[in-house]
């Protein structure tokens, strides 16, 4: 999906255009709403990001990625209490079903808890999470890039320079 790659390239306006085309084809495709929420959050359009993640959760309430990303949008918009409530719900949910460590890492990074974010990233690496492949270019990881543990994970992934 072109919108996905444009998001990782930090080309947010183009990503919105492509994701809009995706939603024209299927207004209930949750991945397009989810990605749109990510783009909106990167642009500081937090109300729209929360609305996009809300649409995802109406389509599939079990989607932990959308819950984590909605919580991130709450953090970024200054609504930390709501974000913490959602984090607590995700941690409780993780006791009985799978919640990706990578989505938790992104949420902890937004909360400013770099150590917890890096702990979750290391677990994501150990799980061989599909999404971990994108951590080097994920805009949500920008606050962690200068951390030695992050750089060690990049080295361990053996990405080309």
> Given this model, what pLDDT does residue 106 score?
93
> Given this model, what pLDDT does residue 17 score?
97
> Given this model, what pLDDT does residue 32 score?
95
> Given this model, what pLDDT does residue 149 score?
96
Burial class of residue 51 in the structure, from the number of CB atoms within 10 Å of its CB (0-12 exposed, 13-18 middle, 19+ buried)? middle
CA distance 132 to 109: 15
Task: Give the structural domain span for 39.
Answer: 2-157
> Given this model, what pLDDT does residue 137 score?
85
Q: Are the C-beta atoms of residues 60 and 47 closer than 8 Å to each other?
A: no
CA distance 48 to 37: 7
Q: How many domains does the chain have?
A: 1
CATH number at residue 133: 1.25.40.10
Task: Output the tens digit of pLDDT for each of the chain's 161 residues.
Answer: 798 899 989 999 999 999 999 999 999 999 999 999 999 999 999 999 999 999 999 999 888 889 999 999 999 999 999 999 999 999 999 999 999 999 999 999 999 999 999 999 999 999 988 887 888 888 889 999 999 999 999 899 887 66
> Given this model, what pLDDT does residue 30 score?
94
> Given this model, what pLDDT does residue 161 score?
60
Q: Are the C-beta atoms of residues 53 and 60 closer than 8 Å to each other?
A: no
């Amino acid at each position: 999906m072109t919108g996905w790659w444009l998001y990782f390239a930090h080309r947010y306006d183009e990503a919105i255009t492509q994701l809009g085309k995706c939603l024209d084809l299927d207004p209930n495709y949750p991945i397009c709403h989810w990605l749109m929420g990510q783009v909106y959050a990167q642009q500081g359009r937090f109300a729209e990001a929360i609305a996009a993640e809300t649409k995802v959760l109406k389509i599939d309430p079990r989607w932990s990625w959308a819950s984590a990303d909605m919580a991130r949008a709450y953090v970024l918009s200054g609504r930390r209490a709501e974000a913490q409530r959602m984090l607590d719900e995700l941690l409780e949910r993780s006791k009985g079903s799978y919640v990706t460590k990578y989505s938790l890492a992104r949420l902890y990074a937004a909360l400013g808890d770099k150590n917890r974010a890096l702990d979750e990233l290391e677990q994501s690496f150990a799980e061989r999470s599909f999404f971990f492949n994108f951590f080097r270019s994920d805009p949500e990881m920008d606050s962690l890039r200068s951390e030695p543990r992050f750089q060690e994970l990049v080295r361990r992934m053996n990405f080309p320079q």
